[in-house]
Structure 1
């Protein structure tokens, strides 16, 4: 039997959840980066403020893709650190909520930006 198998398995499941989250962020970033195609299609060619519109979606999409890549690196570091701590014979304190807090703040900021961005685009279609 593998010592601490249930703890190591839980660590691996957590790691895979972070990887799924990162891949979702990168996919959503790609979708946002291409959001201009959707808006042009739904407005049937209405004239949009293309300078602001294209730049905002491109930068936000690129930022989400980079955030996903950084999240993969942080999750991998955390996975190996936790695996090492699980295998260690000594007890240590848990200290790992900072990444979750930063990610939550970034996702709330993203949601607020998207609400404002889509609202602005919809009100300027006239």
Structure 2
């Protein structure tokens, strides 16, 4: 006999919660990686100057200070991606608890577009300094 419990899915399963946490932690790692890359971009001109001193040669970084601006934007983007990931985590958690989960690709689409734009700016900056 079927008591009806087999057809009544639980609104909140531990595996769903754990998958949501893993997704959130992956976004946190992504945000930290973006911030680390931004830090490297900011410090690149300092690194080039120090290499010139160590090698006793005249090595110069590009005169425009775009690397600092791009690096700071990347650090801010990493910070925002972690914030938005947390908001998405909490939203998904509430949807899972109520049994009304609706997937969304907004965060992924937004981050992909912004990173693509910054990548194009970095390519243009590097081509300009060659």
Coarse TM-score class (shorter-chain normalised): 0.7 to 0.9
The residue that corresponds to 1:6 in the other structure is: 15
Alignment of 1:66 onto 2:79: no
Match of 2:118 among 110, 113, 116: 110
CA distance in 1, matches of 2:129, 2:74: 20
The residue that corresponds to 1:75 in the other structure is: 85
Runs of 4+ residues over 6 Å off in structure 1: none
TM-score (normalizing by structure 1)? 0.80
TM-score (normalizing by structure 2)? 0.78
Of Structure 1 and Structure 2, which has the larger fraction of its residues in helix? 1
The residue that corresponds to 2:39 in the other structure is: 30
CA distance in 2, matches of 1:56, 1:32: 10
The residue that corresponds to 1:86 in the other structure is: 96
Q: Please report how far the alpha carbon of residue 48 of structure 1 lies from its aligned counterpart in structure 2 after TM superposition.
A: 4.6
The residue that corresponds to 2:107 in the other structure is: 99
What runs of 5+ residues in structure 2 fail to find an aligned partner? 1-11
Q: Deviations over 1:41-80 (max 9, x none)?
A: 3794234542x1xx20111111111111111111111111
- Tell me if structure 1 keeps the 8 A contact 2:31–2:78: yes
Q: Please report how far the alpha carbon of residue 121 of structure 1 lies from its aligned counterpart in structure 2 after TM superposition.
A: 1.7
What runs of 5+ residues in structure 1 fail to find an aligned partner? none
Alignment of 1:45 onto 2:58: yes
Aligned residues: 115
Structure showing greater radius of gyration is: 2
